[in-house]
Chains A and B, each alone.
Chain A
Amino acid sequence: MIKLIAAIKKEALILLRDRVGLAVLFLMPMILIFVMTLIQDSAFKSLNERGIPIIFVDDDKDTLGISIEQGLRNSGMCTFNNTIDGVPATAETIEKAVSDGKFLVGIVVPKGATAAIRNNVQLLVQETMGVEEATAKSDSVEIKIYIDPITKKSFLTSVTSSLREFISEIKTKIMFQTFSKQIEELIPDKKNAPGNAFNQSQIIKYKEVYASRQIGEIVPNAVQHNVPAWAIFAMFFIVLPLAGSMVKEKSEGSVLRLQTIPTSYLIFLLGKIKVYIAVCLIQFALMLSVGMIFLPMLGLPTLVIGNSISGILLLSIATALAATGYGVMVGTIAKTEQQGAIVGSLTVLLLSAIGGVWVPTYVMPELMRNISVISPLNWSLDGFYELFLRGGGVADIAMDSLKLVFFFVITILVSLIINRYKRKI
């Protein structure tokens, strides 16, 4: 026990005196979280189809225009605008505003659109009821939609479907009213006429419910993704200083001396592992505080961490173990500091890219989604999604945690075997 404490103390002192290394360990991931969250914020908004800026021009000033405006304002899928730089938008200015990238979608409802629908319905009703011979021609309504090429197709589809829905609703309403009027004329007892019954009958209602145990509805926004993702990345990035310190000990001769001392090699490794696990946990706590305190100061959403503190603790310890084990393995295999740095950084970058740190796995193609499950960073991220987005608990992240601990055990075993093999040269 005294030997282990001495190994921990030695490792902690070495780490604390490496101020540049410490700055990289703690500042780098914090900066990454800030930068990546800010960059990806709009992308996530687009992904979630919320907050997309739409510019709307209502030249109709009648039922259709008003309905569409109300619908867009209440839908929550976009940010509604009817002015460009404070000036009311017009059919002429809207195209340029979209092509300049100020808005992703522009909609123009032309003058007389409602009147045209009304006229068409009138003709239809008259033909159906055989009231009089239709002589007038039907009008067509052209609603223009200007689209920025970067707009997601799924969002565009939802906008056009909504417009179709509004038009169809208006058409049905007008048709219903026209039929009612005709029936009122045919049936003398006006008390039984349908009147405004249309407005009272909303037979099918929709309620969107997220499959989450979370109170409220937490969607994977830039903060909910980037904070855990980059915190995991930072934890795995300790591979660099850890492997570096191990290679340094080899090249400086300390390992040589340690191998002649009557103390198990595992004690030295445990000293390192415990210190670096502590570093990982401090890193993680700092990253969470960035998401919960500092990012909201920049107008970004607040990180919601769910309800399971024990789950967070378990998963972060398991992640720290996996990261430390990987660092020990790289440090054991590498022969020079450069080798350790290159192998360590490249593999962590690769594993993080595969694991969904840079781009969430749910937007990856199927092939990459299938590959992502080999990355320990993905197991960890998946666990934090479970805790933060789906409101899961310890039971829900038990498998991910077990996989990470198993990864740690394997990497340490591999390190011990390689170390023994190297000594038998």
Chain B
Amino acid sequence: MTIEPIIQIKSLCKTFKGNDVSAVNEISLLVNKNEIFGLLGPNGAGKTTTISILCGLYTATSGRVTIDGKDVETDIDSIKQIIGVVPQDIALYPTLSAKENLNFYGTMYGLSGKLLKDKIAFWLDNFGLTEAANKKVSTYSGGMKRRVNLIAGILHNPKILFLDEPTVGVDVQSRNVIIEHLKEINKAGTTIIYTSHHMEEAEHFCSRVAIIDYGKIIAEGSPTELIKSNPNCSNLETVFLHLTKRKLRD
């Protein structure tokens, strides 16, 4: 299998106005096609800022990012066509049902008619939400909301999927369903960039990870490589603690 980078980040920096400290400081990364790439780090490390720059939500202070050969700075509109974003917040309209939310977001991605209807039905069924499909999202449990939130980002079969802590605050069952389906989506050809605080989940889910702290990449490789390269660590969580230390960040 040939390794072909789909995301290239070179010396990426981001300093917010009024802040002296850079949220992202000289990050360089390569994410390959069909990878599940984990961006791990403590709170405020710069994970969400990095993903936001990749999605075109923030502009970089300096550095260069290309996605599928296109520059984020100059070609964001065509990049938006091939990416899917699942934000950390439940980005849904609480007074609308799951179906109505998905109809709206699907149409905004350019889907319509039977294709959209079938896709909505398929994913709702896959995530065990068919029965609740017509109920208001505000009446859903945390896990159900997370699942709808995820569907809204994958309805249009994106080439690259950005997931910002997609399993935060959900029970084990919901988390399992989400992770299993994400693996299937990846198998179908979608590259996944994923952030999480769940080291165990990341260890089993990601093919490669980068640990980010204070806006810098401090380690990069497959979970197995990282564990091996830190002799006293038995899993990704101990590697993470070893590298980022135990000091509280927020």
Contacts and interface: CB of A to CB of B under 8 A. Distances in A.
A259 interface: yes
Nearest to A259: B57
Nearest to A262: B80
Given A257-B87, A425-B16, A263 B92 contact: no
A423 B81 CA distance: 19
Given A10-B93, A14-B93, A18-B95, A260 B57 contact: yes
Nearest to B152: A257
A261 B152 CA distance: 11
B109 A260 contact: no
B95 A2 contact: no
B105 A257 contact: yes
B236 interface: no
A194 interface: no
B57 A254 contact: no
A364 interface: no
A207 interface: no
Contacts of A425: 16-17, 58
Interface string B78-100: 00110101011111111110001
B56 interface: yes
B41 to A, nearest CB: 20
Interface centre among A6, A7, A256, A257 (most CB of B within 10 A): A257
B212 interface: no
B95 A14 contact: yes
A195 to B, nearest CB: 88
A242 to B, nearest CB: 15
Interface string A1-35: 01100110110011001100000000000000000
Nearest to A9: B104
Contacts of A256: 57, 85, 87, 89, 91
B87 A261 contact: no
A2 B100 contact: no
B118 interface: no
B107 interface: yes
Contacts of A7: 104, 108
Interface residues on chain B, size class:
20 to 34
Given A260-B83, A261-B80, A263-B108, A253 B96 contact: no
B107 A253 contact: no
Interface in A384-425: 423-425
B108 A253 contact: no
B180 interface: no
Contacts of B163: none
A16 to B, nearest CB: 9
A263 B93 CA distance: 18
Given A252-B90, A260-B55, A260-B85, A14 B96 contact: yes
Given A13-B100, A252-B90, A254-B91, A261 B57 contact: no
A424 B73 CA distance: 11
A258 interface: yes
A84 to B, nearest CB: 61
A425 B112 CA distance: 34
B90 A253 contact: yes
B95 to A, nearest CB: 4
B91 A253 contact: yes
Contact of B56 (A9, A252, A259, A263): A259
A10 B96 contact: yes
Contact of B103 (A6, A259, A423): A6
A378 to B, nearest CB: 36
B61 to A, nearest CB: 11
> Which 10 pairs of residues, A with B, have the shortest CB-CB distance?
A253-B89, A253-B91, A6-B107, A257-B91, A262-B80, A260-B85, A17-B95, A10-B104, A261-B108, A260-B55
29 contacts: A2-B107, A6-B107, A7-B108, A9-B104, A10-B93, A14-B95, A14-B96, A18-B95, A252-B90, A252-B94, A253-B88, A253-B91, A254-B91, A256-B85, A256-B91, A257-B87, A257-B153, A259-B56, A260-B56, A260-B83, A260-B85, A261-B105, A262-B81, A262-B110, A267-B108, A423-B57, A423-B58, A425-B16, A425-B17
Interface of B: 16-17, 55-59, 77, 80-81, 83, 85, 87-96, 100, 103-105, 107-110, 112, 136, 152-153
Given A10-B93, A14-B93, A252-B93, 15 more contacts: A3-B108, A7-B104, A10-B100, A14-B96, A252-B94, A253-B88, A256-B57, A256-B85, A256-B87, A257-B85, A257-B152, A257-B153, A259-B56, A260-B56, A423-B58
